Amino acid sequence: MTAGHSPTVRRRRLASELRRLREAAGLTCEDVAGHLECSAAKVSRIETGRTGVNPRDVRDMLQLYGVEGDRQDALVELSRMARQKGWWHNYSDVLTGAFAGMEAEAASIRCYQAQLVPGLLQTEDYARSVFRAVRPKADTDDVERRVAARRARQSILVRDQPPKLWMVIDEAVLHRKVGGDEVMREQLDYLVEMTAQPNIELQVLPFGVGAHAAADGPFVILGFPDPIDPTVVYLDTLTSGLYLEKPEEIRWYSTVFDHVRAAALGTEESVALIASRAKELT
């Protein structure tokens, strides 16, 4: 996987710009739908990034909005680029492409996890054990596809200009024996190894903290290098994922993350605790 722009982020950027230009032109979704000879619902889906849009429709929309010349050409080209398929398309049967696309583009990833090692830092055997537990009816091929997809996601950590990864995990993660002693020991040793990378910060939130700001559950905050691509909060659920983009939601989760990292052990203490727990499993 390369470090280039992801189609998912391009679509999001295009959608935001098309919505802004329509509103600046004083037009409604119904006005645009009449011009394109489609439904207002389709225009709404385009403007929220839930569906793609072909370059011809983009050009027609921009002409309606009075956008011409280089600006029009740039946005039409962006629509072409947004239609390209990312590496995650090959794993569309087992992977949420929208999240993988944004994660691949992120310049910073902040994460709190209460139950399991975050996916970006899971070993293959640990990930395999997780998938077998949460999908007890899945066959071996399905599990291995999911492990391969997770491994592909992790390649962002070793690319040129990797994202800044800052993760806080609950101490419970260190004690939940996923896959048994050997798998767990290997996983904890791997966490210690990965913290040596300059772009990775890992902290442990100890049991002694008690109730804390993130007690409602895990979350991921994705930040992007271009200021026109706003930060996104991702909440994972049993059947899908929830994306939060409103400024007040971003501020809330950023504040929560600041609180948990302040309550957590420092990075050196955290690494020492992880290493100590790994030794207990020998």
Examine the domain organization and report whether 29 and 103 are in the same domain. Answer: no
Is 133 inside a domain boundary?
Answer: no
Q: Tell me if 76 is assigned to some domain.
A: yes
Residue 265 has pLDDT above 60, yes or no: yes
Residue 200 lies in a domain: yes
228 with 160, same domain?
A: yes
In which residue are the tokens 């727990």 written? 277
* Assigned domain for 210 exists: yes
Domain membership of residue 225 (yes or no) is yes
- 130 in a domain, yes or no? no
Instruction: Check pLDDT > 90 for residue 230.
Output: no
In the chain, the percentage of residues whose pLDDT exceeds 90 is 67
pLDDT category at 3 given cuts 50, 70, 90 is: very low
Clarify whether residues 180 and 262 are in a common domain. Answer: yes
Do 107 and 59 fall within a single domain?
no
The 3-state secondary structure of the chain, one letter per residue: CCCCCCHHHHHHHHHHHHHHHHHHCCCCHHHHHHHHCCCHHHHHHHHCCCCCCCHHHHHHHHHHHCCCHHHHHHHHHHHHHHCCCCHHHHHCCCCCHHHHHHHHHCCEEEEEECCCCCHHHCCHHHHHHHHHHHCCCCCHHHHHHHHHHHHHHHHHHHCCCCCEEEEEEECHHHHCCCCCHHHHHHHHHHHHHHCCCCCEEEEEECHHHCCCCCCCCCEEEEECCCCCCCCEEEEECCCCEEEECCHHHHHHHHHHHHHHHHHCCCHHHHHHHHHHHHHHCC
Answer yes or no: do 48 and 114 share one domain: no
Residue 166 belongs to domain spanning: 92-122+152-280
Confidence grade of residue 97 (pLDDT, cut at 50, 70, 90): low
pLDDT at 105 over 80: yes
Residue 141, number of CB atoms within 10 A of its CB = 8
* Residue 5: pLDDT over 60: no
Is the pLDDT confidence value at 4 over 50?
A: no
Do 179 and 113 lie in one domain? The reply is yes
* Residue 99 falls inside a structural domain: yes
pLDDT grade, residue 15 (50/70/90)?
A: confident
Q: Is the pLDDT of residue 94 over 80?
A: no
CATH number at residue 58: 1.10.260.40
* Residues 109 and 65 occupy one common structural domain: no
- Range 119-127 average pLDDT: 97
In-domain check, residue 129 = no
- What total of structural domains would you count in the chain? 2
Statement to judge: residues 28 and 116 lie in one domain: no
The answer to whether residues 55 and 107 belong to one domain is: no
pLDDT-based confidence at residue 185 (cuts at 50, 70, 90): very high
Provide the whole-model pTM.
0.80
Could you tell me the sign of the dihedral formed by the alpha carbons of 118, 120, 122, 124, in that order? positive
pLDDT-derived band of residue 87, with 50, 70 and 90 as boundaries? low
- Shared domain check, 54 and 104: no
For 19-73, how does the pLDDT look when each residue is reduced to its tens digit (9 = 90+)? 989 999 999 999 999 989 899 999 998 888 878 888 999 999 999 999 999 989 9
